[in-house]
Amino acid sequence: MTQNLLRPVALVTGASRGIGRAIAARLAPTHDLVLTARDAARLGDVAASCEAAGARVRTMAVDVRDGAAAGAAFAGLEIDVLVNNAGVAVLTPFLELTPDEWHRQVDVNVHALYHVTRAVLPGMVQRGRGHVCIIGSTAGRNTFVGGSCYAGTKHFVMGFAESLMLEVRDAGVGVSVITPGSVATELFPEGTNTAWMLEPENVADAVLFAVTTPPHMLVHRLEVRPLSPKRPRDSF
């Protein structure tokens, strides 16, 4: 990808589906894109649609849980906007949660956040500009049965984001965390009623708003929710 100097460059993790795909599509008219996920074929489909919307796109099939791989892939890239979107959820009571399910959530929701941010942030600080946007969850301030690990990782996101914001704001780098309520994605088990939930595009709208505010203004926390679980989207 050759960088268009007139357009900022955004790196979106978990960009092959769901919220990440919607974010890529929403940013494509105004940003060039670096899109990463593990599924190269799906990334190719997303890239094609984003290029049709005007973006120059580079895809990178990277497992962001792998710190060495993430560091090698992203270090040195001139990224203006980092959207840490990659995430997984296993909504199971603690005594039914397997070690693999526990570690997978921590690896993606916590460790990958460190790996990617650590690779990209030094360049932002050096250039004196940039924006780190993290997709959190209302589970980052609430709890529920089956959320011992997932909610724990999202509480971590909230603490990480606010601490990082305080550390880098004087260098001209903003940090935002978008906290959606329930979103109709593949994270929910088959058969779940998602007709009342937010759509991925609603979260993408929030991301675009957060990363395109004036340079002197920071939207640090932005919570978006479905209006009511008793009102399906198509009833409005």
Please report, as a single letter, which amino acid is at residue 41.
A
Strand 32-37 relative to strand 9-13: parallel, antiparallel, unpaired?
A: parallel
| Residue among 22, 41, 24, 29 at smallest CA distance from 4 | 29
Q: Are 113 and 132 in contact (CB under 8 A)?
A: no
3-state secondary structure of 159: helix
Angle at which helix 99-106 crosses helix 150-168, to 10 degrees, equals: 20
Residues annotated catalytic, as ranges? 150
Is residue 222 within a helix (H) or strand (E), and if so which, with residue range?
A: strand 221-224
How far apart are the C-alpha atoms of 37 and 155, rounded to whole Å?
24
3-state secondary structure of 169: helix
Please report, as a single letter, which amino acid is at residue 225.
R
Please report, as a single letter, which amino acid is at residue 5.
L
